Chains A and B, each alone.
Chain A
């Protein structure tokens, strides 16, 4: 499982509240990613990191921010949660060099419900 732990696994929150999801990895991987999964859309990239304090936006970054102050932790923050952010959130890492194209290893996911 590439040593990836997401927390919490489930969360219910109210519209307008801030929410932070944590991704923790134990194998010192450089690249980390946050995706969201919604029916009919597959998985879509929110933000990614290519090193400590080095992050960039993905295709659905509006309303989200990230931080990576140390290699092992990649935090995803919803500054003011909205119902449209109800989703399953996956953290992932990629391993390079890799004989399989830099495939992603995924965490177990966080089910977030915004009421």
Chain B
């Protein structure tokens, strides 16, 4: 069975610093996808970044990058130059293909990031 582990329940970072949120995964499927979502205090789930298991380069989306280390089964999210608006819960997730192409995502427990001014 697929499993996602986020070992940092909470993190506190000074504004403008870079921050790394850890995510490790376990799967026997050679084809998989990894996602990061942000959940601010308002509650909505916001997609941040995606990495496919066969992608040769680490994914980047603006200030977000994914440090993908396949051999170590880790997919850490890096936020450069953190801002107060980055304070939120962050979830790592892995895709599992289900019946007829449905996409099941397995989520980690989340990391609550707090940016201090």
Chain A residues within 8 Å of B, Cβ to Cβ: 31, 33, 40-45, 48-51, 54, 56, 58, 88, 90, 92, 94, 96, 100-106, 108-109
- Provide the residues of chain B in CB contact with A42, threshold 8 Å: 4, 91, 93, 107-110
User: With A41-B109, A101-B95 as given contacts, are A109 and B44 in contact (CB-CB < 8 Å)?
Assistant: yes
Q: B4, B43, B95: which contacts A102 (Cβ < 8 A)?
A: B95
Q: Do A56 and B105 touch across chains, with their CB atoms under 8 A apart?
A: no
Instruction: Report the minimum CB–CB distance from B52 to chain A (whole Å).
Output: 6
Contact residues of B: prevailing secondary structure: strand
**Number of A-B pairs, beta carbon distance below 8 Å:** 74
Does B72 make an interface contact (CB < 8 A)?
no
- Provide the residues of chain A in CB contact with B33, threshold 8 Å: 101-102
Contact residues of A: prevailing secondary structure: strand
* Docked CA distance A88–B45 (Å): 12
Which A residue sits closest to B104, measured CB to CB? A45
Which B residue sits closest to A111, measured CB to CB? B43
Most chain A beta-carbon contacts within 10 A, residue among B4, B35, B101, B105: B105
Q: Do B109 and A50 touch across chains, with their CB atoms under 8 A apart?
A: no
Q: Do A103 and B35 touch across chains, with their CB atoms under 8 A apart?
A: yes
Counting chain B residues whose Cβ lies within 8 A of the other chain, the interface size class is 20 to 34
User: With A43-B107, A101-B95, A102-B95 as given contacts, are A51 and B50 in contact (CB-CB < 8 Å)?
Assistant: no
User: With A42-B108, A43-B91, A108-B44 as given contacts, are A51 and B35 in contact (CB-CB < 8 Å)?
Assistant: no
* Docked CA distance A35–B91 (Å): 14
Q: Do A96 and B101 touch across chains, with their CB atoms under 8 A apart?
A: yes
Does B14 make an interface contact (CB < 8 A)?
no
Which A residue sits closest to B97, measured CB to CB? A102
Does B102 make an interface contact (CB < 8 A)?
yes
Q: Do A56 and B45 touch across chains, with their CB atoms under 8 A apart?
A: no
Within 60-110 of B, Cβ neighbours of A (below 8 Å) are at 91, 93, 95, 98-110
User: With A43-B107, A101-B35 as given contacts, are A48 and B44 in contact (CB-CB < 8 Å)?
Assistant: no
Q: Do A88 and B103 touch across chains, with their CB atoms under 8 A apart?
A: no
* Docked CA distance A58–B98 (Å): 10
Which B residue sits closest to A101, measured CB to CB? B33
